[in-house]
Structure 1
Amino acid sequence: MKDNFSKQASAYSKFRPQYSDEIIAYIISFVENKSKALDVATGNGQVAYKLSAAFEEVYGIDISQNQLDNAYVADNIIYKAASAENTFFEDQEFDLITVAQAVHWFNFDLFYKEVYRILKPNGVIAVLGYGLFSTNSNTDIILHDFYYNIVGPYWDAERKYLDENYQTIPFAFEEQAVEKFENQLEWSFEELIGYLETWSSVQHYIKKNNKNPLDLIRDTLKTSWEENDKKVTFPMLLRIGKLK
């Protein structure tokens, strides 16, 4: 599993979009027992925190201690540094395992083998995420050029799974039919730029070129943003499965 986010853990916690209560409640509705949940690659713990309201105990694991140091806190959440493919849990320990915006970084075979080991026989695995957001038509033109052309060559190969709405990831489970969700937000220009700076492609560009690619579009983007409604819509990606 790659770690593209330790260096910007604070920004990731501040600017990454939240998962709605609606989609979390929908995932939980598939789960019979609410004893113990695990959020894998938990990052800033936003999903673990939302799960903590419904489950007796929640674990959040991540390979980045910096991410965990910026995570949401609740009395029934336990955070530990661990990889997705090699955890320290007992067999058949969890009623629910979630992975948000991270499964594309994993070794699928090893991770799914681990899920089969630590998930209870009637447990649920939920893989969720969000694709490229859309906004007003003028700003979309600027951002699409930025996404595909300016930082396009700097995306990791695994990004394709998000572009393909997680429909092309291997999924070694009994698939459950799911509803479609969107996440609609209203952002200031600072929030827009802050989110764009968390993109791994932007960080790869900065590392290679010693300059921020957002400087190439910052002025035109700001003008477009201030002239329009500042609303963004994220398509939510969701796959839910049970052990075969």
Structure 2
Amino acid sequence: MTSEKPKEFQDKFGTVGKSYKTFRPTYTEELYSIIDSYCDSKRDLAIDCGCGSGQATVKLAKYFKKVIGFEPSQGQIENAVKTENVDFRLSPAEKIDLPSGSVDLITVATAVHWFDLPVFYQEAKRLLRDNGSLILFTTGFIQILNNDEAQKINDNFRSGTLGDYWAPIVKYVIDGYVDIKPPFENVERKTISLPKLMSVNDVIGIYSSWSGYASFIKAGNNDVLPGVKENLMSAFKTTDPNAEIVETNFPVYMVLSKK
């Protein structure tokens, strides 16, 4: 049964908004090329729901006359990037103040698994014009490619130290969005790679942006990141935490659909 109203918003990222903006990887041009190819020629308005600090939102400005990012977290909005034809508005994704049938594209970047999905899907159907597109994508968890010991440290921190602090909804990401099912018949799925050469400090920055880490700290635990940093530096046999020696990859799972 569809909920009558959205669930109460719980801000999982407001306290780490600055870290989220600084350290989360930037989506590659390949992703936006896929979006560009999938959408039809009408490009008046795109909206990005759960836009966070706007890294994905501003990229859409190249392809659409107007882009609006909607985000319920004040902490994220305060860190949003300012761009000429992009606006940011404080709003949950499940209740967008725009006319029915007025939107050409709705995107959600690494956020839809937090939504009240039945309510959001109804709102997406209302907002999209005929043949408008709903494109949902998420970055998977960081993988360290060039050091097995470091990858074990990475896995242990995510699934061991933070294992009890992840919201159950994060399973959508772990499973590659296979259970994210838009309310339209025309659906395509793609997985692309997001490689990035990073430093140990960059990796620690990624960890600091995780909602599971925010929950871990909120629960009163001592900060373990300094120890994790030391372990990673030992694994890479380096004394320079800023040296870009960590080869990483982030899988990106895409679900593309049309009304």
Shift of residue 216, structure 1, vs aligned partner: 4.0
Correspondence for 2:235: 224
Gaps of 5+ in 1: none
Distance (Å, rounded) in 1 between the aligned partners of 2:35 and 2:172: 21
Q: 1:162 to 1:31 in 2, by over 3 A?
A: same
Q: Is the 8 A contact 2:112 2:136 kept in 1?
A: yes
Q: Is the 8 A contact 2:15 2:214 kept in 1?
A: no
Correspondence for 2:135: 126
Structure 2 counterpart SS, 1:180: strand
Correspondence for 2:255: 239
Distance (Å, rounded) in 2 between the aligned partners of 1:151 and 1:95: 39
Shift of residue 226, structure 1, vs aligned partner: 4.9
1:107 maps onto 2:100 in alignment:
no
Shift of residue 209, structure 1, vs aligned partner: 2.7
What letter matches 1:154 in structure 2? Answer: Y
Q: Match for 1:13 among 5, 21, 31? A: 21
Given the two structures, how large is their TM-score scaled by the length of structure 2?
A: 0.89
What letter matches 1:28 in structure 2? Answer: D
What letter matches 1:30 in structure 2? Answer: Y
Distance (Å, rounded) in 1 between the aligned partners of 2:170 and 2:237: 29
What letter matches 1:140 in structure 2? Answer: Q
What is the identity percentage for the equivalent residue pairs of Structure 1 and Structure 2?
30
1:26 maps onto 2:42 in alignment:
no
Distance (Å, rounded) in 2 between the aligned partners of 1:226 and 1:90: 57
How many pairs does the alignment contain? Answer: 243
Q: 1:169 to 1:2 in 2, by over 3 A?
A: farther
Runs of 4+ in 1 over 3 A off after TM superposition: 225-229
1:173 maps onto 2:184 in alignment:
yes
1:118-171: CA deviations, max 9, x gaps?
Answer: 011110000001112211322111111111111111101111000000101243
Correspondence for 2:94: 85
Q: Match for 1:144 among 155, 163, 170? A: 155
What letter matches 2:258 in structure 1? Answer: K
Structure 2 counterpart SS, 1:209: coil
Q: Match for 2:164 among 145, 149, 153? A: 153
Correspondence for 2:70: 61
Q: 1:242 to 1:90 in 2, by over 3 A?
A: same
Structure 1 counterpart SS, 2:38: coil
1:41 maps onto 2:50 in alignment:
yes
Gaps of 5+ in 2: 1-8, 239-243
Distance (Å, rounded) in 2 between the aligned partners of 1:157 and 1:179: 24
Shift of residue 8, structure 1, vs aligned partner: 1.4
Q: 1:225 to 1:128 in 2, by over 3 A?
A: farther
Distance (Å, rounded) in 2 between the aligned partners of 1:153 and 1:175: 37
Distance (Å, rounded) in 2 between the aligned partners of 1:2 and 1:100: 18
Q: Is the 8 A contact 2:189 2:253 kept in 1?
A: no
Higher mean displacement: 2-11 or 207-216: 207-216
Given the two structures, how large is their TM-score scaled by the length of structure 1?
A: 0.95
Q: Is the 8 A contact 2:45 2:103 kept in 1?
A: yes
Q: Is the 8 A contact 1:133 1:234 kept in 2?
A: yes
